[in-house]
Structure 1
Amino acid sequence: MDLPALRCFQVVARYEHISRAAEELRVAQPSVSRTISRLEAELGVRLFDRRGRRIHLNGHGAAFLRRVDRALRELDDGASELTDAAERNRRVTLAAETLLTVTGLLVRFRAAHPGIEVRLRQSAADAMARRLRTREVDLCVASQPLVGPGLVSELLLREAVLLAVPAGHRLAGREAVLLSELEGEPLVTPSRGHWQRVLADRLFARAGVEPVVACEGDEPGAVVSLVAAGLGVALLPAMARASEVRGPLSWVRIAEPDCHRELRLVRDGGAPRSAAARLFAAFALDHFRTVGATATATAEDAAGAGATA
């Protein structure tokens, strides 16, 4: 009894017709008949009842078909898992709140490891834990804690959050600013749920200030350009100073405790880790160590007499 014989039996049982089965299997009709006859001889029972030129699956055949279907399905699933595992060894899927955060990382990783495919998914923080649990992604880069059983996180970056104001703004050139001084200022911010909005809401509430949200949306990367266009001020990570914008900005240190963001790499500790995912995680940690040193330097620059980009 071999796999070709079992697959032949499966097709014949489905059609209960030798000629149609032969067409699907792309073999000669006599070959199909001989295969079924050998299988019946090996099992010692008839699997089909012959009535003239027609055949019908009998009770023995129906019972055997259930087992064959199950066995072949398990074998097919096993083959698919091996194929998927081989592909995962050359592929890593990453989720991030905003693609700008990981752009530099991806450019460097692709240059260093061109044989590994990276798939990127933009995702809100509240959806990342689900995507890790369902294996939709291997890793997440998150700026706020992800909640879920078995999740493991590593710190990638801790950086200051600065106040970005348009050139010529009354606060441009200041060394530092208190949030109480932003009373009535139009604020440009991502929508609720994004880490920048969560941080802003917490800091403004602690300062007793009701922010005036002039512009909010689901494109965090657009905030720098909107501030440069004069639509308002914004709380932005030091990393954002590297953004290319149309027009100058002034960056001011915020004289409030806990005014920073922590960027973390998160994974499901119970999920198997492919070689590509392990390599990418190590590369990301090294990359953001360098970025962190640069971000610290830019924050110190902003603590001077007001930095303009």
Structure 2
Amino acid sequence: MTPVSEAYRRMDLHTLRQFLVVARLEHLSRAADELHVAQPSLSRTIARLESELGTSLFDRAGRLRLNDAGKLFRDHVERSLGELDAGRRAVAETAAEGYGTVRLASETFLTLTGPLAAYKLAHPSVEVELHQMPAEEMARHLRAQDIDLCVASQPVPAEGLEAVHLFDEPVWVAAPLDHPLAGRASVSIDELADEPFLTTRKGHWQRRLLDLLFTGRGLTPKIVCEGDEPAAIHALVSAGLGIGLTPDIAQRASTRSLVAWVAVDSPDCRRTLTLLWGADSRLSSAARLMRTTITGWNWVTGEPQEPRAPA
């Protein structure tokens, strides 16, 4: 038996799950807090794991960083534990005659409140887990079966995944009602060059779109606020703190005109929503029902419609 095979034989699930938390946070004290263990104990667990593998998994010069070996091992551990969890859920689902759990990830859940409410009403016994994450992390988590389904507003690497296009919509500039743009029907990117933008951090679709639009014109947006709450942009705009990019669905859902909506003169100022899942995943019945609910949703009327076949 090789040293690596012997290491795998000795490893327990508890150690591997602890490793994944440290790999995700790249910080021992924060990982220890999340795991509710003492930091010295966690440090010894990681050191023992590295000894069993015969190589370091982290670079420790300055801040703790997952190295190439650590990233490779993380991917294998995620896939292995994902398969184990999928097996447990399948057995539990069979024993409970249809009761199960569905794990859905998205950059933001504001757009999904309609289909989620409809799903929970139709299937009250199913436990729904929601995970917020940037699109750049979705493919890895789907392949590792940490999550069942993802809804993304940005391109996601398609290797090993299946997808259904949900809808495409224009994205508007939202401006305060007393802003000079408030009376305009449309505005060009060049005219927005000196405007103060309220946006999200890198990783969110609004920020990616803003950077894409400005980079295409050789410009840099003037950002006065960036955060992790996309829904807060509309409120901050109405408070007069700047302008921001807002999807068409938010305009249609608005009951009062707290902001002015201005079209952007660019064919690229749009958002495309896509539902994704692992091509090799054995989706539970709960996940399949969620997929049917989401693909069968009319995003314009906010009502169910006939589901579409996977692309």
Aligned partner of 1:229 in structure 2 is 239
Alignment of structure 1 residues 105-120 onto 2, 5 Å: 105-120=115-130
Instruction: State whether structure 2 residue 204 is matched by structure 1 residue 194.
Output: yes
Q: Based on CA coordinates, which of the two structures has the bigger radius of gyration? A: 1
Structure 1 residue runs of 5 or longer lacking an equivalent are 1-76, 295-309
Q: Which amino acid aligns with 2:269?
A: C
Alignment of structure 1 residues 163-242 onto 2, 5 Å: 163-242=173-252
Give the superposition deviation at 1:113.
2.2
Aligned partner of 2:281 in structure 1 is 271
Which one has the bigger helix percentage?
A: 1
Q: Is the 8 A contact 1:89 1:276 kept in 2?
A: yes
Q: Which amino acid aligns with 2:105?
A: A
Normalised by the length of structure 1, the TM-score is 0.65
Aligned partner of 2:91 in structure 1 is 83
Encode CA deviations 1:218-258: one digit per residue, 9 max, x unaligned.
Answer: 11121111111111111111112255699710001111122
Q: Distance in 1 between matches of 2:202 and 2:103?
A: 26
Aligned partner of 1:131 in structure 2 is 141
Alignment of structure 1 residues 133-152 onto 2, 5 Å: 133-147=143-157, 149-152=159-162
Aligned partner of 1:249 in structure 2 is 259
Encode CA deviations 1:116-173: one digit per residue, 9 max, x unaligned.
Answer: 2211111111221122122111000001121253111111110011110011110002
Q: Is the 8 A contact 2:194 2:221 kept in 1?
A: yes
Q: Distance in 2 between matches of 1:197 and 1:174?
A: 23
Q: Is the 8 A contact 1:228 1:247 kept in 2?
A: no
Q: Is the 8 A contact 1:165 1:249 kept in 2?
A: yes
Q: Which amino acid aligns with 2:206?
A: Q
Q: Distance in 1 between matches of 2:162 and 2:133?
A: 18
* Count of residues in correspondence between the two structures: 217
SS for the counterpart of 1:172 is: helix
Distance 1:94 1:201, change over 3 A: same
Aligned partner of 2:299 in structure 1 is 291
Structure 2 residue runs of 5 or longer lacking an equivalent are 1-84, 303-311
Distance 1:119 1:257, change over 3 A: same
Q: Distance in 2 between matches of 1:79 and 1:126?
A: 26
Normalised by the length of structure 2, the TM-score is 0.64
Q: Is the 8 A contact 2:89 2:100 kept in 1?
A: no
SS for the counterpart of 1:220 is: coil
Alignment of structure 1 residues 47-126 onto 2, 5 Å: 80=88, 83-86=91-94, 90-126=100-136
Distance 1:247 1:270, change over 3 A: same
Q: Distance in 2 between matches of 1:78 and 1:230?
A: 48
Distance 1:247 1:150, change over 3 A: same
Q: Distance in 2 between matches of 1:277 and 1:80?
A: 15
